């Protein structure tokens, strides 16, 4: 078997940002323009969750690794009216950071002095981030420069087009524009980009710390968020990857950005796996920060139904893809599903191209895959908004195709969905839910022996950019590691033994020539 790359580590983080829901979520900022006196905007503050409520939200605990999918499945739906029995900030894969600390991390990630914080607020934030323990002393020292009074921050927001940063509805900082006329460097865009960078850094630092990864071992970084970094002459040119790597201390790494809407992370993982398998790099980190625009995206429906605002967190993740170590699960980048230009947008065609077609080419049945991970949006968020249970719909489509193929009987569909499917838990941060949140749990399941094979499915809507009406998607298999290829050969003889035998034969041949 080819020497595939492996999933070495994964991290998943959230930053609870309730004030940013009001001031930076597109649903809310648009409402402020078109209907500033709406009942929705008046009622919204009463529907924001506290940090403690955010911690106690069971899907959030699942995202950072404190609740398994089976445990989440056992929780009666809906989830919003129930609380975790043991809500904690830190989890197996990551953490949930409070808004105030996230503002401080944003300033540490800002290298052009665009983020300003009120002086007393900055003192508290520095103390909290120092206790966090993942930043260097010189990075924390950045917060000492804040001598700003609230009045000056208000002036910048009201007169200089700065974007305000709020804590409990009070102005505590701002993000300035980086250029007077370039809309790509406006305060709005700079805030979006700095938030994305900071949440990516948060996830990288968690991965390094929790998985004991040497920062200097990482050769290459691929960012796959949904934001665009650039100015008027190269809008969207990048590079988020290298910008985040710099703050996270990945001094030996270079990198670049990959974009593909919601399918971007799956494309990036395949890129990373291929680079490692080819020997171009030994350790490639795929990372993505979150998206302010999607905060409170379905807020109107949630408020209308008397629910809390459930989209109140910035999400982030990092996955480390490395050389085959003979232990960690391998990525089968030779068994890949592709939504091609000619696939079409019919749901059956989409699932067929991403699920059954690659399995057919590999001679596998659908039932040979222990778990499928397509779009994993939390149904607590999507069902009240009229979008239904997205993961369940995908699993039912996979089950229906399995019936058509003869892999299962029609009566087995409910059991198939439960056994091979997952309950959605990921935040609706665009690119975050599409398959990748399961890579950490799948790695653990395979290492523990409760699974042998899983499929990660990334899907995306390219028509959002108004360049094409096409849909998009890629998928790949993750399998139990059979052992490093170089350690095995035909007849159970290792490659090292073969090399020794060849060397011995060559010596014998050379000696015979000298006689």
The residue extents of the domains of the chain are: 332-487
User: Which of helix, strand or coil describes residue 68?
Assistant: coil
Per-residue pLDDT band at 487 (split at 50, 70, 90): low
Find the helix or strand (DSSP H, E) in which 128 lies: helix 119-132
- When the candidates are 1.10.3470, 3.40.47, 3.30.1460, 3.10.450, the CATH number that belongs to 332-487 is 3.40.47
- Give the predicted TM-score (pTM) of the model: 0.93
Contact of 350 with 459, CB cutoff 8 Å = yes
CA 455 to centroid of chain Cα atoms: 16
Question: Which percentage of the chain shows pLDDT scores above 70?
Answer: 93
Residue 364, C-beta contacts closer than 8 angstroms, at least 6 positions apart: 335
Per-residue pLDDT band at 501 (split at 50, 70, 90): low
Per-residue pLDDT band at 497 (split at 50, 70, 90): low
Pair of tokens at residue 355: 């699920």
Query: How many Å is the maximal CA-CA distance in the chain?
Result: 102
Residue 442, C-beta contacts closer than 8 angstroms, at least 6 positions apart: 7, 329, 371, 373, 451, 454, 456, 478
Pair of tokens at residue 154: 């208000």
Given this model, what pLDDT does residue 512 score? 55
**Average pLDDT of 68-90?**
96
Rounded (10°) CA dihedral 255, 259, 265, 270: -70
Tell me phi and psi for residue 428, to 5 degrees.
-80, 70
Task: Measure the CA–CA gap between 91 and 352, rounded to whole angstroms.
Answer: 36
Pair of tokens at residue 329: 């699960």
Given this model, what pLDDT does residue 490 score? 40
Question: Per-residue DSSP letters for 254-309?
Answer: EEEE---GGGHHHHHHHHHHHHHHHTS-SEEEEEE---GGGTTTTHHHHHHTT---
């Amino acid at each position: 078997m080819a020497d595939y790359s492996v999933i070495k580590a994964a991290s998943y983080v959230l930053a609870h940002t309730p004030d940013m829901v009001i001031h930076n979520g597109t649903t809310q900022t648009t409402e402020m323009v078109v209907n500033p006196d709406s009942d929705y905007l008046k009622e919204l503050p009463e529907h924001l969750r506290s940090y403690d409520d955010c911690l106690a939200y069971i899907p959030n605990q699942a995202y950072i690794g404190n609740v398994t999918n089976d445990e989440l499945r056992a929780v009666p739906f809906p989830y919003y009216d129930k609380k975790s029995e043991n809500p904690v900030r830190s989890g197996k894969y990551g953490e949930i950071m409070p808004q105030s600390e996230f503002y401080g991390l944003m300033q540490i990630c800002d290298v052009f002095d665009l983020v300003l914080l009120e002086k007393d607020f900055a003192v508290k934030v520095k103390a909290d981030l120092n206790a966090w323990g993942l930043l260097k002393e010189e990075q924390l020292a950045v917060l000492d420069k804040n001598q700003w009074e609230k009045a000056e921050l208000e002036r910048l927001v009201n007169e200089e087009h700065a974007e305000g940063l709020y804590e409990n509805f009070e102005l505590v900082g701002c993000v300035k524009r980086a250029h007077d006329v370039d809309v790509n460097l406006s305060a709005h865009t700079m805030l979006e980009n700095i938030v994305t960078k900071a949440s990516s850094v948060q996830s990288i630092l968690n991965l390094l710390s929790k998985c004991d990864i040497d920062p200097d071992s990482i050769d290459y970084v691929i960012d796959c968020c949904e934001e665009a970094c650039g100015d008027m002459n190269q809008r969207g040119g990048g590079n988020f990857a290298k910008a985040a790597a710099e703050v996270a201390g990945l001094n030996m790494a270079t990198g670049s950005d990959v974009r593909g809407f919601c399918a971007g992370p799956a494309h990036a993982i395949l890129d990373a796996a291929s680079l490692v398998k080819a020997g171009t790099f030994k350790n490639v980190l795929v990372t993505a920060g979150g998206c302010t625009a999607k905060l409170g995206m379905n807020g109107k429906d949630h408020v209308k139904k008397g629910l809390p605002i459930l989209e109140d967190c910035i999400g982030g993740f990092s996955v480390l893809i490395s050389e085959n170590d003979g232990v960690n699960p391998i990525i089968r980048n030779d068994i890949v599903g592709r939504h091609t230009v000619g696939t079409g947008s019919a749901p059956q065609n989409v699932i067929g191209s991403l699920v059954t077609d690659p399995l057919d080419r590999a001679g596998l049945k659908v039932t040979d895959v222990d778990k499928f991970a397509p779009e994993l949006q939390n149904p607590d968020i999507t069902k009240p908004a009229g979008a239904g249970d997205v993961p369940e719909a995908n699993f039912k489509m996979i089950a229906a195709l399995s019936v058509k193929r003869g892999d299962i009987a029609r009566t087995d569909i409910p059991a198939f969905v439960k056994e091979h499917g997952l309950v959605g838990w990921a935040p609706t941060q665009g690119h975050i839910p599409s398959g990748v949140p399961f890579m950490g749990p799948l790695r653990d399941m395979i290492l523990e022996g409760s699974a042998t094979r899983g499929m990660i499915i990334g899907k995306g809507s390219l028509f959002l950019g108004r360049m094409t009406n096409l849909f998009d998607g890629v998928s790949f298999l993750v399998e139990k590691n059979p052992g490093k290829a170089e350690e095995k050969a035909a007849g159970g003889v290792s490659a090292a033994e073969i090399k020794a035998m060849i060397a011995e034969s060559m010596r014998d041949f050379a000696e015979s020539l000298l006689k």
